[in-house]
Amino acid sequence: MKLKSILKNVAIVLVAITATNTLAQDGFQGQAVYMSKTTVDMDNFGGREMSPERKKMIMERMKSMLEKTYILDFNKTESIYKEDEALEAPGGRGGFSMGGMSAGPIYKNVKDNKLVQDQEFFGKQFLIKDSLPKLEWKMSGESKQIGKYTCFKATATKKVDAADWTNMRRRDRDRDKKDEDKETTEVEKDSTKTDAPKDPFEEIEIPEEIEVTAWYTMDIPVNNGPGEYWGLPGLILEVNSGRTTILCSKIVMNPSDKNDIKEPTKGKEVSMEEYQDIVKKKMEEMREMFRSRGGRGGGRRN
């Protein structure tokens, strides 16, 4: 048993040395392909009244938005993460599109603690420049195999931003009995409320925080990962965040055709906080517009 333990430790050291030597090469660069999938519970958004055929049709239409392929090009300190252009729908600009939002490339520089994100919002181009979001990762020691790579588990709690539509959920009005009783009392006082159209913004909410689980491999000791994720002693190969799973399906070390890793440059420069404020104001504007039109959406009154 002692000999077996020694051999195991020697193997770990050899892997670490090999990985370090790979990174030490001049012009080192790698490329990782990720599959991103977001699930939607249709029952929470009026799906209970829909037929199975109707649900299936809607999910098929949403498939291109909920299932994406991304490419992460990375070196020792930088990375660029963007949707695979070869699979992009005709006429698209890359990234997902939902409610007037379209996300472009995400650039990270772990040495300079820098994040730059290309973001389109209701026809306006923004360039989000900020420091890298820092998560307090907790290592569990748990491991699993992803492809040929041994990966280790880490978890963290992440604040959810106002533009994160993937974590929208139906508001649970039974969570707080006091709020429910108060709402009932208000409805009884104002009988006109029962005839008023439902405000869709009242039916949904975005949680303040969610738990994120990441699996990283020290076989590729770069402090990077898909999207905004980073901060672990190895490349992150899998992320589970809310209803979204991002899984690495392919890795190429030092590819013959290397893509440029450059910051996006187009758009109005804003910080992440400033962009969040813009999103919140737009959502409130849409809500007020809905109310002023009596809940009839975007149609004009005759």
> Domain residues of the chain, as ranges?
2-168+206-292
The β-bridge relationship of strands 268-270 and 124-130 is parallel
Enter the pTM of the model. 0.72
pLDDT mean over 206-235? 93
The answer for residues whose C-beta is within 8 angstroms of residue 293's C-beta and 6 or more apart is: 299, 301
Mean pLDDT of the chain: 77
**Residue 47: predicted pLDDT:** 52
**Residue 139: predicted pLDDT:** 95
**Residue 17: predicted pLDDT:** 47
Nearest to 137 by CA among 236, 38, 220: 236
**Residue type at position 204:** I
Compute the distance between CA of residue 71 and CA of residue 34 in angstroms, rounded to an integer: 6
Contact 100, 278 (CB under 8 A): no
**Residue 168: predicted pLDDT:** 58
What CA–CA distances, in Å, run from 292 to 62, 66, 184, 199, 300? Answer: 30, 32, 24, 11, 11
Lowest-pLDDT range of 6-10, 168-172, 178-182: 6-10
